[in-house]
Amino acid sequence: MPDFAALQKAVHNDPYAMYLGALDILHLNGHDLRDIGCKARREILYGIIKPNSRIQFSEAIPGDPKAIFYLVDQAGIEGIVSKRADSKYRSGPTTNWLKTKSWTVDEFELLGVEREPGKAAFVLLAEPGTGKYVGSAFISLARDMKERLWKRVPEHAGPSPEAMKKRPATQCVGPGIKLRIKHLRGDHSKIRHASLLGFRDEE
């Protein structure tokens, strides 16, 4: 199973123990391969990867895309990338690659709110029961819901946890406020691409 937190840890602590998953090749021995179709480029790539090396070929998954995405979603993986087999490689945004994300909604405890003039506002979140910091979520609420949040923060003001002391723009709160958060599937020890949907008690 993919583990984004473990990947980040390995990058910093033990990079030479990692394997590279190679999925495409753009140049080879001075030749530009970008005008060759994706499937043909990958065949070239597969042919030059040595067996038992730390470079591994990223295999394609054949089958119906909806069925594949269903299995990925059920497994708790954050999504899939689909590519047109005959597409040439072009830099920048393109419709030849499609990333389909798998979202889930979970409950977390509010640690605080981070607001700075001219910047987006975020809620800082903790794992329920442990109070362990798991990340932040963009505040994507209607105006009335935001006003309720701004009101609750000073009402439940609390001391700054150790993880928050380096964030001077944060207003911290005590335990008790539960939030519903939409985020990518995966390891809950560090949520990613998260947004606030509302309070748990206002479902």
Instruction: Supply the pLDDT for residue 194.
Output: 93
The CA distance from 112 to 123, in Å, is 6
Distance CA(124)–CA(63), nearest Å, equals 40
- The average pLDDT across 92-111 equals 91
Q: How high does pLDDT run on average in the chain?
A: 86
CATH 3.30.470.30 fits 14-101, yes or no: yes
Q: Is pLDDT above 50 for 203?
A: no
Fold for the domain defined by 103-202: OB fold (Dihydrolipoamide Acetyltransferase, E2P) (2.40.50)
User: How high is the pLDDT of residue 102?
Assistant: 93
Interatomic CA distance for residues 97 and 84, integer angstroms:
7
Instruction: Give the confidence band of 173 by pLDDT, cuts at 50, 70, 90.
Output: confident
Residue 104 φ then ψ, to 5°: -145, 160
Q: What is the mean pLDDT of residues 127-139?
A: 88
Q: b vs e for 181-199, b when ≥16 Cβ sit within 10 Å of the residue's Cβ? A: bbbbbbbbeebeebebbbb
Does the global pTM surpass 0.85? no
The domain ranges of the chain are: 14-101, 103-202
List pLDDT tens digits, range 14-58.
Answer: 988 899 999 999 999 999 999 999 999 999 999 999 988 999 999
